[in-house]
């Protein structure tokens, strides 16, 4: 059921149920982050492997002290600068965080999201929300309530409709497991350059491990049901059996959809997952998508496309 009844959503969460929630990045599938049985329902509903950890969403920066055992100075600086917003911090967890949330790891991903309806929801619950993207595991992430209904509607208790997501790709993840050597584990809306302006040089570990230390690190992810090929530029000719997602100045009618005719990377990010879904529903047998400039949020877009096309 889709609606915007915040009180109903809060009641379901308190009772151990599952609610799809809007954030500025993508829709999340939320449960009480302190309730192990409720969190297990997330894994079951998504068919998500137990080795892939979840992110805890917090109501405020002050709440971080309840769930993080150590808060390095660089973590405080990043939270003060980018929260609420699309940045996740990996920190040592306290005993309050169930092991099922972190897949048994001693560290937990923490984020304070920036969405008005979610902020209202937090006024009705006194616990953090464990919430991966609200879609079957490994598939294209949802950026509208209807996307969630289409894929998980019969597996969850309620979908809180906050409208289309304004960013469209998941949060940037920064690990501070070693406070002296922070690392980006997933590209997102907050760019490496923005992070380095606050805390100095950071490394990257955009891993393809079979045992990830954060969400979004597996080789195969954000997948369409039809084969997807990445291309560097617009092809001169187009087959009727191929659906092409382009970027930048259109070349005749070669693009079926254009992420941004004006080459706006933020517009491209907002449209990315919706366009992948639309392409997948087409009658074409094969999908193509152009890489975008590998800078700023473009790195996050290319990262999602690469994983969607893997294999």
Q: What is the CATH number of domain 2-204?
A: 3.90.870.10
Main-chain dihedrals φ then ψ at residue 231, nearest 5 degrees: -130, 155
Q: Are 220 and 241 in contact (CB under 8 A)?
A: no
Residue 31 structure tokens: 């449960």
CA atoms within 13 A of residue 61's CA, in its CB half-sphere? 13
Q: Are 13 and 5 in contact (CB under 8 A)?
A: no
| Pairing of β 87-92 and β 55-57 | unpaired
Q: Are 162 and 115 in contact (CB under 8 A)?
A: yes
pLDDT, position 239:
83
Q: Are 63 and 110 in contact (CB under 8 A)?
A: no
Nearest in space to 128 (alpha carbons), one of 185, 54, 183 = 54
Q: Are 256 and 244 in contact (CB under 8 A)?
A: yes
pLDDT, position 186:
95
The answer to whether the Cα torsion of 272, 223, 46, 99 is positive or negative is: negative
Nearest in space to 209 (alpha carbons), one of 200, 196, 220, 198 = 220
pLDDT, position 22:
98
pLDDT, position 221:
83
CA–CA separation, 69 and 64 (whole Å) = 9
- In order of 4, 30, 182, the CA distances from 198 in angstroms are 37, 30, 12
List the end-to-end C-alpha distance of the chain, in Å, as a whole number: 35
- In order of 68, 195, 215, the CA distances from 72 in angstroms are 10, 15, 22
Scanning the chain, the segments in alpha helix (DSSP H) are 6-14, 36-46, 64-67, 73-82, 99-102, 116-122, 145-152, 192-199, 265-281, 298-309
Q: Are 280 and 249 in contact (CB under 8 A)?
A: no
Reading the chain (311 residues) residue by residue, the pLDDT tens digits are: 899 999 999 999 999 999 999 999 999 999 999 999 999 999 999 999 989 999 999 999 889 999 999 999 999 999 999 999 999 999 999 999 999 999 999 999 999 999 999 999 999 999 999 999 999 998 999 999 999 999 999 999 999 999 999 999 999 999 999 999 999 999 999 999 999 999 999 999 886 555 676 776 677 788 899 999 999 988 888 888 999 999 998 777 789 999 999 999 999 999 999 999 999 999 999 999 999 999 999 999 999 999 999 86
Q: Are 29 and 134 in contact (CB under 8 A)?
A: yes
Q: For the chain, give every domain's residue range.
A: 2-204, 228-309
Q: What is the CATH number of domain 228-309?
A: 3.40.50.11030
> Angle formed by the axes of helices 145-152 and 265-281, to 10°?
30
Alpha-carbon 69 to chain mean position: 25
| Pairing of β 107-111 and β 87-92 | antiparallel
> pTM for this structure?
0.94
């Amino acid at each position: 059921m889709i609606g915007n009844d915040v009180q109903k959503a809060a009641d379901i969460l308190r009772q151990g149920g599952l609610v799809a929630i809007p954030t500025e990045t993508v829709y999340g599938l939320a449960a009480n982050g302190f309730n192990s049985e409720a969190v297990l329902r997330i894994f079951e509903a998504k068919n998500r492997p137990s080795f892939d950890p979840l992110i805890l969403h917090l109501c405020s920066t002050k709440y971080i002290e309840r769930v993080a055992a150590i808060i390095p100075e660089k973590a405080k600086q990043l939270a003060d600068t980018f929260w609420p917003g699309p940045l996740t911090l990996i920190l040592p967890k306290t005993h309050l965080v169930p092991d099922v949330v972190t897949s048994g790891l001693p560290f937990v991903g923490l984020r304070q999201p920036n969405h008005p309806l979610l902020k209202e929801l937090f006024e009705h619950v006194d616990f953090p929300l464990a919430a991966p993207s609200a879609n079957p595991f490994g598939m294209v992430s949802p950026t509208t309530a209807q996307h969630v209904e289409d894929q998980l509607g019969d597996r969850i208790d309620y979908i809180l409709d906050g409208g289309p997501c304004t960013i469209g790709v998941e949060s940037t993840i920064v690990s501070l497991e070693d406070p002296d050597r922070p690392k980006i584990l997933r590209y997102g809306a907050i760019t490496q350059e923005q992070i380095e302006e606050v805390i100095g040089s950071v490394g990257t570990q955009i891993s393809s491990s079979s045992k990830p230390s954060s969400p979004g690190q597996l080789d195969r992810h954000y997948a369409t049901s039809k084969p997807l090929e990445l291309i560097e530029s617009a092809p001169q000719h187009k087959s009727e059996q191929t659906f092409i997602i382009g970027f930048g100045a259109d070349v005749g009618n070669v693009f079926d959809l254009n992420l941004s005719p004006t080459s706006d990377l933020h517009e491209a990010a907002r449209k990315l997952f919706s366009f992948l879904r639309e392409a997948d529903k087409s009658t074409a047998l094969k999908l193509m998508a152009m890489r975008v400039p590998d800078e700023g949020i473009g790195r996050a877009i290319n990262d999602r496309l690469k994983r969607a096309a893997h294999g």
